[in-house]
């Protein structure tokens, strides 16, 4: 019987995109009757291994110590050691890798082990996006990321040459590989990921909206614009700039018609309030912290959800919001500065809005357009979004397509 080994650097209870995708893939494989093992490798305080069962999915949790001064080769060598031990215990039919360092280890040291590289987009592009999101004064981190950018480009070519297939999540992701690797990109295919619907319980829009306003003391007449994600980086900066533009445009209006809610980790409440006060929007924004258990209610209570990313490997929050019947606003990919999958998720003006150009002004214009919707129009677009993503994104379909690639 076919068996699949998934190699990753994140798994639940983490809630990041990597953990979400691996859990979705593993669950779909299990439901197809395929024995599946997740090898979760990441740095830790000690060299350690723990084997356990997660709802019928075998998980091997491996950690390795990181020296105070480290180079990328340390992670490659440690993953080589761990993978050698795991593969010696049994030869899986398929190996899928969800992180570049571990794919490099397979490419270099396990040449007789075919593998599929599963990645949202080109890793160097992600690193470049991280660099642009840093302050100019953050010289140490910028230098470190610049080095990783150069190294990861070589790694990516090495992986493409060795793997049987590379799977990306969007058309823009495919374009990135075509631009960077020419003929090697013939091994790259777009396979859309899925969504784990049962993880998101969402009440109806009117109920959720009323509850959120009462919970956070927001005036009843305001429409809620929801941001879900980390509070750091360039995407939040774009949103703050757009909020400042909206405030200036509303100076002649005594009562603002909108309120922005920030949901996610990474913010210091005093610093958040200080930033809001400096922009003159302290009464129009709320930081809600992390809301794992109630996330569905936050999505479904939003008039619109916004993801202002310039670089994003996929953007699961767009799909999650749509499952909760919330329209989303996101930047459209431009093949230059903005490399995102929003165009694969949002049908402009039908299931949400694609902000063009990908600037604070473009984002502010899109938010204003959403605010102009009637309640009936907002409900229609939200329902369209739900139907669209449930029909397009499926982990069951994803694993069947990738299994077919593995067998070519």
User: Is a pLDDT exceeding 80 seen at residue 127?
Assistant: no
pLDDT in tens, 316-341: 999 999 999 999 999 999 988 899 99
Per-residue pLDDT at 270? 86
Residue 7: pLDDT band with limits 50, 70, 90: very high
The lowest-confidence range among 187-201, 233-247, 321-335, 379-393 is 187-201
Helix residue ranges, H only, 347-394:
360-371, 375-392
Per-residue pLDDT at 197? 61
Domain covering 4-194+393-407 in this structure, CATH number: 3.40.50.2000
Per-residue pLDDT at 232? 77
Q: DSSP letter string over 34-51?
A: --EEEEEEEE-SS-EEEE
Residue 381: DSSP 8-state: H
The stretch 335-357 carries a mean pLDDT of 95
User: Is a pLDDT exceeding 80 seen at residue 115?
Assistant: yes
Tokens, residue 55:
């709802």
* Mean pLDDT estimate for the chain: 90
Helix residue ranges, H only, 55-164:
72-88, 100-109, 123-132, 139-162
Give the separation between CA 132 and CA 128, rounded to whole angstroms.
Answer: 6
The lowest-confidence range among 30-39, 102-111, 233-242, 349-358 is 233-242
Intervals of CATH 3.40.50.2000 along the chain: 4-194+393-407, 206-392
Give the separation between CA 58 and CA 35, rounded to whole angstroms.
Answer: 8
Residue 361: count other Cβ atoms within 10 Å of its Cβ. 12
Residue 210 or 18, more confident: 210
The stretch 142-159 carries a mean pLDDT of 84
Per-residue pLDDT at 70? 60
Residue 102 or 202, more confident: 102
pLDDT in tens, 284-313: 999 999 998 899 999 999 999 999 999 888
| Per-range mean pLDDT, top range of 71-75, 122-126, 220-224 | 220-224
Give the separation between CA 155 and CA 216, rounded to whole angstroms.
Answer: 47
| Residue positions counted in the chain | 408
The stretch 71-93 carries a mean pLDDT of 88
The stretch 131-159 carries a mean pLDDT of 78
Domain covering 206-392 in this structure, CATH number: 3.40.50.2000
Q: Tell me which residue of 326, 351, 373, 307 sits closest to 205, measured CA to CA.
A: 326
Give the separation between CA 70 and CA 74, rounded to whole angstroms.
Answer: 6
User: Is a pLDDT exceeding 70 seen at residue 135?
Assistant: no
Per-residue pLDDT at 90? 85
The lowest-confidence range among 161-175, 267-281, 388-402 is 267-281
**Phi, psi of 7, deg, nearest 5:** -110, 125
């Amino acid at each position: 019987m076919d068996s699949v080994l998934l190699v990753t650097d994140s798994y639940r209870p983490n809630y990041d995109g990597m953990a979400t995708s691996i859990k979705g893939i593993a669950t779909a494989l299990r439901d197809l009757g395929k024995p599946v093992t997740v090898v979760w490798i990441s740095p830790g305080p000690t060299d350690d291994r723990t084997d356990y069962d997660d709802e019928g999915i075998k998980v091997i949790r491996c950690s390795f110590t990181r020296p105070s001064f480290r180079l990328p080769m340390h992670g490659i060598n440690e993953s080589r050691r761990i993978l050698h031990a795991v593969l010696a215990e049994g030869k899986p039919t398929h190996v899928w890798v969800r992180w570049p360092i571990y794919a490099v280890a397979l490419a270099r040291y396990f040449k007789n082990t075919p593998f599929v590289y599963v990645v949202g987009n080109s890793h160097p592009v992600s690193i470049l996006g991280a660099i642009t999101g840093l302050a100019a004064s953050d010289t140490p981190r910028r230098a470190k990321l610049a080095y990783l950018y150069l190294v990861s480009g070589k790694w990516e070519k090495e992986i493409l040459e060795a793997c049987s297939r590379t799977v990306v999540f969007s058309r823009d992701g495919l374009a990135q590989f075509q631009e960077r690797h020419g003929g090697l990109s013939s091994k790259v295919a777009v396979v859309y990921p899925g969504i784990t619907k049962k993880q998101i319980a969402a009440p109806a829009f009117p109920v959720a909206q009323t509850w959120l306003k009462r919970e956070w003391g927001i005036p009843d007449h305001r429409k809620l614009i929801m941001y879900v994600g980390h509070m750091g980086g360039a995407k939040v900066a774009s949103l703050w700039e757009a909020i400042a533009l909206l405030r200036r445009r509303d100076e002649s209006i005594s009562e603002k018609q909108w309120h922005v809610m920030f949901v996610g980790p990474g913010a210091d409440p005093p610093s958040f309030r200080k930033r809001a006060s400096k922009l003159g929007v302290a009464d129009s924004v709320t930081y809600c912290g992390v809301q794992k258990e109630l996330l569905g209610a936050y999505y479904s209570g939003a008039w619109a959800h916004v993801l202002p990313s310039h670089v994003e490997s996929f953007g699961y929050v767009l799909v999650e919001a749509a499952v909760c019947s919330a329209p989303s606003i996101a930047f459209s990919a431009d093949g230059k500065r903005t490399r995102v999958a929003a165009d694969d998720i949002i049908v402009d003006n039908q299931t949400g809005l694609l902000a063009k150009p990908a600037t604070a002004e473009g984002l502010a214009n899109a938010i204003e357009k959403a605010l102009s919707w009637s309640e009936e129009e907002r409900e229609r677009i939200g329902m369209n979004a739900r139907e669209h993503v449930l029909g397009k994104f499926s982990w069951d379909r994803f694993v069947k397509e990738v299994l077919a690639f593995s067998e070519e």
